[in-house]
Amino acid sequence: MLIFPTMELQNNKCVTLDKGRLESAMLWHVDPVETARGFAASGAEWIHVTDLNALEGDDSNVELIETIIRTAGVSVQLGGGMRTRETVERWIDKGAGRIVIGTLAARDPNLVVELAKNYPDQIVLAVDVWQGQVMTEGWRQSGAFTPEGFIEAFGDAPFAGIVVTDIDSDVEDTDAQLGLISSLADTARVPVIASGVVHKADDIARLKYVRNIAGALVGRALFRKTFSVEEALEIARPGPEPVAEFL
């Protein structure tokens, strides 16, 4: 299972959100570029970056994200404000390893399927869930989709993965979040990446054995130093396969 150390960027700073509330972001006094480099030095294969300003049409973080992509030494999965074909393709040209798309998938699913076909293993579908509905527009607008129906509508589209976030579960209610994400992973046709579920190291151990969950975004716990990237990667590493003993 892949671990995606995660940074949410707002006004060129690292922050974390409580239930997707942009207005009450918690600020972390760290350098984003050095933080990304630290994740890479700790052995991460990917990092996940969300541009919170871009959700509101603000390009304040563009230069910072370009620097992270160029210098971090690790592949970047980037989300936030991917509302047009041009934006998606521009970030791929700039070197982003994967692009996470949510609102555009609800507005123009045919375009997103086309992008997935044109950029194999680079387009990730975002499914952000609030009270049983898929949210768009930076978690502010409820669509007319259930998460199950939203995922099913894309059929066999060749996404690199599906990031599932249960926004309205309590931050510490891991069981409720795991219930939703496990259910969606069981029916999805591409691997699911769990978001917002990992609060402690044991949560990684639980996720590791859920069918079709291929990764987890881990942000707040790393900034709080609840555990390290190295510890997360060690727990997520596949265990040895059982070997039959022959007498």
Q: Report pLDDT for 140.
A: 60
- How many Å apart are CA 50 and CA 200, to the nearest integer? 21
- How many Å apart are CA 121 and CA 140, to the nearest integer? 28
Estimate to the nearest angstrom the gap between the alpha carbon of 37 and the chain centroid: 18
Domain edges within the chain: 2-236
Q: Report pLDDT for 142.
A: 63
- How many Å apart are CA 197 and CA 67, to the nearest integer? 28
The one catalytic residue in 128, 166, 168, 203 is 128
Q: The CATH number of 2-236 is which of 3.20.20.70, 3.30.70.3280, 3.90.226.10, 3.40.50.2000?
A: 3.20.20.70
The one catalytic residue in 8, 166, 168, 203 is 8
To the query of whether residue 89 is one of the catalytic residues in this protein, the response is no
In sequence order, the β-bridge partners of residue 78 are 49, 99
Q: Report pLDDT for 178.
A: 79
Give the pair of three-digit tokens for residue 27.
């600020």
Is the separation of the CB atoms in 100 and 126 below 8 Å?
A: yes
Is residue 37 pLDDT above 50, yes or no?
Answer: yes
Give the pair of three-digit tokens for residue 136.
């768009």
Q: What is the pLDDT of residues 135-175, one digit of tens each?
A: 886 556 566 789 999 999 999 999 999 999 887 654 455 66
Q: Report pLDDT for 180.
A: 86
Q: Report pLDDT for 19.
A: 59
2-10 and 133-136 strand pairing:
unpaired
Other Cβ atoms closer than 10 A to 238: 7
Q: Report pLDDT for 94.
A: 98
To the query of whether residue 202 is one of the catalytic residues in this protein, the response is no
Give the pair of three-digit tokens for residue 178.
């795991």
Q: What is the pLDDT of residues 67-103, one digit of tens each?
A: 999 999 999 999 999 999 999 999 999 999 999 999 9
In sequence order, the β-bridge partners of residue 217 are 4
